[in-house]
Chain A
Amino acid sequence: MDIKNRRQFLKLLAASGLASTGFNPISALAMSSKASAHVVIIGGGFGGATCAKYLNMFDPSLSITIIEPSKQFVTCPFSNMVLSGLQNIDSISHGYQAHIKRGINVVHDVVKQIDAEKKQLQLSAGKSLKYDKLVLSPGIDFKWDEVEGMTAADAEKIPHAWKAGSQTTILQRQLAGMRNGGTFLLAPPPNPFRCPPGPYERISMVANYLKQHKPKSKILVLDAKNKFSKQPLFMQGWKKLYPGMIEWVAADKGGRVDQVDVKNRTLHTELGDAHKADVINFIPPQKAGAIAHTAGLVNDDGWCPVNQRSFKADGQQDIHIIGDASIAGKMPKSGFAANSQGKVCAAAIVSELRGKTMPEPSYVNTCYSLVSPDYGISVAAVYRYSKEKGIYKVKGSGGVSPKQADADYRKHEARYAKGWYDSITFDSFG
């Protein structure tokens, strides 16, 4: 029975006079969930879309609203395939038709402010919206104030492409227009940031493109870190597939960028070196999405502390925060993690509305990276929660792909990377 039929049924019930006989239909309905509860989700990415879908699956009687400015969500996963010209942007864009079909409201708007006391959101153009439970899945924003010489507007010239969409297209065009023999400069951000292996997959896929189309070109990586995710596996793959093309500079060896010269397309490092390049992909330091800051739900580092079992924001009764913005113990900031957290958060909300204790949560993450279209590597882990440790990795579980693996194994992982993409986008948006 869908919501409309259900409402009609309740109307009939009221009209029949039964509602006044002392028989309370509401309490008997919907597995004792508050039938009228309105759950609002800010952000329709992997976290928000998954949370909405699973809230609906756990309790179809809930009224659920997603507030998301974009009509289409463009995924960061596989955006490196778009950058390197192997896929088009439509292949990584996902709408909300399946959510709408489920009876979930999707409002394309921006939340300006959260009034936690009144449980009310202020949207654009003076509109407002009430909620019973609120979920923030706002993703990341950039700490532009920590970047010398560059503003958010300059990202049109020096793209970060760390939110997929128009930024991906800008960088793709710059790469496509680069001369053979040019330098592509990528500057990965300091920890913590969205998708830890992402910059290194990007380096790989740019190298794959250059090797085929502009083989005299170089890739220079000025890293804000001294080590990175799946480093031995990436470096092994680079040496094998793109020998001599990629130079990676660790933070302490002159990799730390302290100034961006947009006009001269040059990055200055703290050691005083200036690196001019044909294309620069500067990925700024990151923080939780803007609304988390506006609503005062962040710590001094700019991320959101939460109860890692329920994802309830610290000090809040009815606000949950999931995905990249949240501090989720040992889990990385990834689309996969956000999807996993969205389900746990949905179970926590429905359990609370029913006055029940949620069973013990289990979380998981797998990050596949492509070193080339048929050379995949992965890192995986299973996570649990304890009051003392928060979200921790289950001992013995997880780890990275073996260093000694044959071409067939790498090919399988590349195939599973694509299979994973098909599954997680179906699980989140389908």
Chain B
Amino acid sequence: MNNRPAAFLLPILLALSAPASALEINQGTMLANSCAACHGTHGKSPGAIPAINGKPAAFIIQSMKDFQSGARPATVMGRHALGYSDEEIKLIAEHFASQQ
């Protein structure tokens, strides 16, 4: 082991370089972070607004489309949903589906 320190260290360094709690900066998080002010950090709402963490992506996508069309009655979500494209909704849905 002493002869090959890098081989020993590499897994540790990799673990260090991506701590489990680090939130990746990608297009999905840039969009989804703006949902957190009402739905809570990572979608974990502590109050009256529904939590959306861990919800299936297909469910979130369908909900957003139904908010857009008005098929699902809402107060503020109809007005928010119209601000996102299909592709953006998919990224948001996948982000929250992956939050436990």
Interface residues of A (CB under 8 A from B): 1, 6, 9, 13, 16, 18, 21, 23, 25, 28-31, 53-54, 57-61, 336, 339-340, 343-344, 347, 350-351, 356, 358-364, 366, 378, 380-382, 394, 396-399, 401, 409, 412-413, 415-416, 418-424, 426-427, 430
CB distance from A19 to the nearest CB of B (A): 11
Residue pair A347, B82 in contact (C-beta under 8 Å): no
CB distance from A22 to the nearest CB of B (A): 11
10 pairs, A vs B, C-beta closer than 8 Å: A9-B12, A9-B16, A31-B22, A358-B30, A382-B84, A398-B82, A416-B75, A420-B49, A422-B47, A422-B49
Nearest to B25 among chain A residues (CB) is: A347
Residue pair B47, A362 in contact (C-beta under 8 Å): no
Q: Which of B34, B39, B49, B82 contacts A343 (CB 8 A)?
A: B34
* Bound-complex Cα distance A370 to B79 (A): 19
The 9 closest A-B pairs by CB, nearest first: A382-B83, A419-B48, A422-B47, A397-B83, A419-B49, A364-B34, A419-B47, A394-B83, A359-B27
Q: Which of B5, B15, B49, B79 contacts A416 (CB 8 A)?
A: B49
* Bound-complex Cα distance A257 to B34 (A): 38
* Bound-complex Cα distance A362 to B84 (A): 10
Chain A residues near B58 (CB-CB < 8 A): none
Q: Which of A6, A340, A358, A420 contacts B25 (CB 8 A)?
A: A358
CB distance from A58 to the nearest CB of B (A): 5
Nearest to A351 among chain B residues (CB) is: B25
Q: Which of A360, A362, A423 contacts B34 (CB 8 A)?
A: A362
Q: Which of B22, B29, B35 contacts A60 (CB 8 A)?
A: B22
Chain A residues near B84 (CB-CB < 8 A): 382, 394
Chain A residues near B83 (CB-CB < 8 A): 364, 381-382, 394, 396-398
B21 at the A interface (CB under 8 A) = yes
Chain A residues near B34 (CB-CB < 8 A): 340, 343, 362-364, 382
Chain B residues near A59 (CB-CB < 8 A): 22
**Contacting residues of chain B (9-53) with chain A, CB-CB under 8 angstroms:** 9, 12-13, 15-19, 21-23, 25-27, 29-31, 33-41, 45-49
* Bound-complex Cα distance A54 to B42 (A): 11
B72 at the A interface (CB under 8 A) = no
* Bound-complex Cα distance A351 to B46 (A): 30
Chain B residues near A426 (CB-CB < 8 A): 40-41, 46
Residue pair A60, B21 in contact (C-beta under 8 Å): yes
Apart from A362-B88, A364-B34, A364-B83, what 6 extra A-B contacts exist at CB < 8 Å? Answer: A60-B21, A347-B25, A350-B25, A380-B79, A419-B38, A427-B37
Residue pair A419, B45 in contact (C-beta under 8 Å): yes
Given contacts A28-B13, A412-B75, contact A382 B80 (CB under 8 A): yes
Given contacts A21-B5, A343-B34, contact A397 B79 (CB under 8 A): yes
Residue pair A30, B17 in contact (C-beta under 8 Å): yes
B71 at the A interface (CB under 8 A) = no
Chain A residues near B9 (CB-CB < 8 A): 13, 18, 23
Residue pair A380, B16 in contact (C-beta under 8 Å): no
Residue pair A424, B30 in contact (C-beta under 8 Å): no
Chain B residues near A359 (CB-CB < 8 A): 25-27, 30
Chain A residues near B15 (CB-CB < 8 A): 1
Given contacts A397-B80, A398-B83, contact A378 B47 (CB under 8 A): no
Q: Which of A9, A336, A413 contacts B37 (CB 8 A)?
A: A336
Residue pair B5, A16 in contact (C-beta under 8 Å): yes
* Bound-complex Cα distance A65 to B21 (A): 19
Chain B residues near A28 (CB-CB < 8 A): 13, 17
Residue pair B16, A1 in contact (C-beta under 8 Å): yes
Chain B residues near A378 (CB-CB < 8 A): 75-76
* Bound-complex Cα distance A6 to B30 (A): 28
Nearest to A421 among chain B residues (CB) is: B47
CB distance from B50 to the nearest CB of A (A): 9
